[in-house]
Chains A and B, each alone.
Chain A
């Protein structure tokens, strides 16, 4: 009898744990993670750093050319989050602002630029040409991956507490 009660308690515990795992890896949580990643990429890029490949260290973005700096000095719609000399993939700010979740898979999130700027130039083509020019930013550094892990673990921990499993 005691054995049966124990088995039932264990079964209930496993069922609750499974429901937490399902929730923590479900589309809602993946969307939260996607939003977190977008914010990380945008801030790091606007601070002037790129990441050449996933899990590497961030590094300063290539400086702007003298000609382009001169153009930016007279460009009336220059974003408040940059200066003419600052290399941070920000002119109007539309490309980084346009980053969005494109798709959510079972174990993946696809993120990329969307739409176009006020001049009709597509944000994805801007990102493409920036990467071609060596300013690679749509990657996650080792520290950013660690932050995503921390973000997810906090969510998981909150869910465990909500289900009284922790």
Chain B
């Protein structure tokens, strides 16, 4: 059975500009990367431990890994998370369909399509992590407000300047 396409959809404010939506997407991705690197899953809990076999393997030693599960051997998979699509009020974030990183992510998320009981969901926001997502989005809403404020200031200072010339 082939890997599922690993992607998530995130609701976002529709009044953000395209660039702001992309920046928001990048912040969401960076948050998920850092969360995974710190050993936390998409609910904020710890990932299941690595198998004894993997911890004894030469690959484990070469990568200089510790017992902290961070889904990072070369770092390729986490680096491949990207904004796949920007819609009016939605962002699609995940992996390129059919890519090696998508296969790896699918393995972690689904437990290799049910062949393993160990699942390590790292994409998305569940449980208490939903609040984290809200705070990231809120920060960008504030950026939008700041931008509006700056535009207003620029407009007002332009008026002052015209008055000054008179």
Beta-carbon contact of B157 and A43 below 8 Å: no
Does A47 make an interface contact (CB < 8 A)? yes
Q: Are B160 and A81 in contact (CB under 8 A)?
A: no
Given A143-B80, A143-B101: A3 in contact with B161 (beta carbons within 8 A): yes
Nearest-neighbour CB distance to chain B for A152, whole angstroms, equals 13
CB pair B33–A43 under 8 Å, yes or no, is no
Chain B interface (Cβ < 8 Å from any Cβ of A): 30, 33, 58-59, 61-64, 73-76, 79-80, 100-101, 153, 157, 160-161, 164
Q: How does the 8 Å CB contact mask read for A116-155 relative to B, with 1 for contact and 0 for none?
A: 0000000000000000000000000101101100100100
Count of inter-chain pairs, beta carbons less than 8 A: 51
Q: Which residues of B contact A146 (CB under 8 A)?
A: 79-80
User: Is A43 touching B64 in the complex (CB atoms < 8 A)?
Assistant: yes
Interface residues of A (CB under 8 A from B): 2-3, 6, 40, 43-44, 46-47, 49, 57-58, 80-83, 86, 88, 141, 143-144, 146-147, 150, 153
Q: A47 CA to B80 CA in the complex, in Å?
A: 19
Check if A44 sits within 8 Å of B74, measured CB to CB: yes
* Complex: A144 Cα to B64 Cα, angstroms: 17
